């Protein structure tokens, strides 16, 4: 099935890096980039059970007269078909509604805050809201263009991790790049995790597509993350556990995004994966 990736274009060098990540992703996955060049400083995204207002960082409106030409130049350099999104609906005259029926969305680590704040360990509140509300996975890009040559899926056994695994398998099948799986064993044996995969009829597909399944049975999660290839697109689930558990024990997603600078493809709780 044809898929589409939404990208909010920022007409700056930093925005260009993000956009190149989007285009690289689209090229590999066979998706069409749908580019929105903002005309207003804010927009709304209506999800199934939430409405998220994205107040953009002012740099998104830089040089609007050259934005489309810059975007077009990059799209054609990747031999992709350009598709620009013009909002049809407006909640208020300066508040367009951006559709949410895409297959992927690309976000830098923050869309509302100054780019100087963007760094490891920081994901802006709007991006978090989008991840936790969207049906699509969110591609959180590294600050500079970083082509990925393999996929790294973090699988911790939760429902969201299972969705991340399904997505990883799908991408591996569609792109043909090798797939590695990483699991931090937490009071469970390898067999327990394999049983979950088996239970969901993913084992056959997994054995066909995966290259390695690495179990971290010792060491802290952060230190174990060093073995994740630097040129991997990291696929992981977010918000899979309860708020209290996350507050007390910390979230794996937070640990990963604070430690590794790779591109992240984050699957939220409302994502419904299909093989």
Question: According to the binding rule CB under 8 A, does residue 16 interact with other proteins?
Answer: no
Q: Please tell me the distance from the alpha carbon of residue 113 to that of residue 122, in angstroms, as a whole number.
A: 11
Our CB check for other proteins shows the closer of 226 and 249 to be 249
Our CB check for other proteins shows the closer of 1 and 248 to be 1
Question: According to the binding rule CB under 8 A, does residue 62 interact with other proteins?
Answer: no
Q: Please tell me the distance from the alpha carbon of residue 210 to that of residue 178, in angstroms, as a whole number.
A: 7
Shortest Cβ 143–other proteins spacing (Å): 26
Our CB check for other proteins shows the closer of 150 and 188 to be 188
Is-contact 173 39, C-beta < 8 A?
no
Number of chain residues interacting with other proteins (CB under 8 A): 40
CA angle, 101 then 103 then 109, to 5°:
100
Q: Please tell me the distance from the alpha carbon of residue 89 to that of residue 126, in angstroms, as a whole number.
A: 21
- The residue within the footprint of other proteins, chosen from 99, 143, 178, 229 (CB under 8 A), is 99
Shortest Cβ 123–other proteins spacing (Å): 18
Shortest Cβ 120–other proteins spacing (Å): 26
Q: Which stretch binds other proteins (CB under 8 A): 135-143, 153-161, 203-211, 223-231?
A: 153-161
Question: According to the binding rule CB under 8 A, does residue 248 interact with other proteins?
Answer: no
Tokens matching residue 126: 């709007």
DSSP result, 180-229: EEEEE-SS--HHHHHHHHHHTT-HHHHHHHEEEEEEE-SS-HHHHGGGS-
In this structure, is the dihedral angle defined by the CA atoms of residues 50, 56, 61 and 67, taken in order, positive or negative? negative
Our CB check for other proteins shows the closer of 96 and 142 to be 96
Window 17 to 56, contacts with other proteins (CB under 8 A): 32, 42, 44, 46-47, 49-51, 53, 55
Element (H, E) at 19: helix 13-29
Shortest Cβ 178–other proteins spacing (Å): 25
Q: Tokens 């700056």 appear where?
A: 12
Question: According to the binding rule CB under 8 A, does residue 113 interact with other proteins?
Answer: no
Tokens matching residue 80: 């992709």
Question: According to the binding rule CB under 8 A, does residue 176 interact with other proteins?
Answer: no
From the list 159, 193, 192, the residue with the least C-alpha distance to 267 is 159
Question: According to the binding rule CB under 8 A, does residue 239 interact with other proteins?
Answer: yes
Shortest Cβ 34–other proteins spacing (Å): 8
DSSP 8-state code for residue 167: H
Tokens matching residue 252: 């794996």
Question: According to the binding rule CB under 8 A, does residue 82 interact with other proteins?
Answer: no
Shortest Cβ 227–other proteins spacing (Å): 23
Element (H, E) at 265: strand 264-267
Q: Which stretches of the chain bind other proteins, using CB under 8 A?
A: 1-2, 4, 32, 42, 44, 46-47, 49-51, 53, 55, 81, 88-95, 97, 99, 101, 157-160, 162, 188, 192, 196, 239-243, 245, 269
């Amino acid at each position: 099935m044809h898929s589409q990736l939404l990208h909010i274009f920022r007409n700056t060098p930093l925005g260009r890096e993000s956009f190149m990540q989007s285009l690289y992703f689209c090229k590999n996955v066979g998706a069409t980039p749908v580019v929105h060049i903002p005309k207003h400083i804010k927009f709304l995204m209506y999800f199934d059970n939430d409405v998220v207002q994205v107040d953009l960082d002012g740099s998104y409106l830089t040089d609007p007269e050259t934005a489309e030409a810059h975007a077009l130049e990059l799209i054609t350099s990747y031999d992709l078909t350009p598709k620009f999104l013009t909002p049809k609906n407006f909640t208020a005259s300066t508040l367009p509604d951006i559709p949410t029926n895409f297959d992927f969305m690309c976000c830098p680590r923050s869309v509302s805050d100054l780019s100087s704040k963007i760094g490891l360990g920081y994901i802006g509140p709007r991006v978090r809201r989008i991840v936790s509300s969207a049906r699509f996975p969110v591609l959180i890009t590294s600050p500079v263009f970083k082509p990925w040559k393999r996929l790294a899926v973090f699988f911790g056994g939760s429902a969201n991790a299972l969705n991340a695994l399904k997505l990883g398998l799908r991408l591996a099948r569609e792109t043909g790049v090798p797939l590695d799986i990483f699991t931090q064993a937490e009071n469970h044996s390898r067999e327990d995790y394999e049983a979950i995969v088996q239970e969901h009829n993913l084992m056959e597909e997994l054995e066909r597509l995966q290259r390695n399944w690495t179990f971290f049975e010792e060491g802290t999660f952060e230190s174990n993350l060093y073995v994740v290839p630097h040129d991997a697109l990291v696929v992981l689930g977010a918000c899979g556990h309860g708020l209290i558990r996350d507050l007390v024990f910390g979230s794996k997603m937070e640990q990963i995004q604070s430690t590794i600078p790779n591109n992240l493809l984050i699957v939220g709780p409302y994502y419904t994966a299909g093989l």
